[in-house]
């Protein structure tokens, strides 16, 4: 019974959140090591800070190559601090800037 149910999902992606600690492209190896199939999730920076260090182009290039090679779909999470529903203008504006930055980093 269990194996029959599992076969229903064999063509679906299954992944978890993995760390980008060290270098962005190492997240692909981490996803493989923990058994991700077709997908995984990352933060592009520390989720507990407003600022983000610049992504190095050689790391981004390596990351993209590995994602393509292993046929992963990557999902990126927003950091914890932004709140796009904040009634405080300053906090809301800062949150919008982080959203823009994250979208840009994903390109």
Using one digit for the tens of pLDDT, what is the confidence trace for 86-103? 999 999 999 999 999 999
Backbone phi, psi, residue 37, to 5°:
-125, 100
Task: Give Cβ neighbours of residue 2 (< 8 Å, ≥ 6 apart).
Answer: none
Q: CA-to-CA distance for 52 and 29, rounded, in angstroms?
A: 23
**Helix H or strand E segment including 2:** helix 2-7
pLDDT band at 5 (very low <50, low <70, confident <90, very high): low
pLDDT band at 3 (very low <50, low <70, confident <90, very high): very low
Residue 10 has pLDDT above 70, yes or no: no
Residue 8 has pLDDT above 80, yes or no: no
pLDDT mean over 60-79:
96
- Do the bridges between strand 73-76 and strand 39-42 make them parallel or antiparallel, or are there none, so unpaired? parallel
Quick: pLDDT tens for 12-67. Answer: 788 999 999 999 999 999 999 999 999 999 999 999 999 999 999 999 999 999 99
pTM for the full model?
0.83
């Amino acid at each position: 019974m269990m194996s029959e149910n599992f076969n229903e999902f064999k063509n679906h992606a299954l992944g978890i959140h993995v760390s980008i600690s060290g270098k962005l492209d190492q997240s692909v190896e981490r996803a493989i090591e923990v058994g991700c199939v077709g997908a995984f999730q990352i933060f592009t920076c520390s989720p507990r800070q407003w600022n983000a260090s610049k992504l190095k182009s050689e790391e981004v290039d390596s990351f993209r190559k590995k994602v393509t090679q292993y046929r992963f779909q990557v999902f990126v999470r927003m950091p914890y601090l932004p709140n796009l529903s904040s009634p405080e203008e300053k906090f809301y504006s800062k949150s919008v800037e982080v959203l823009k930055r994250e979208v840009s980093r994903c390109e």
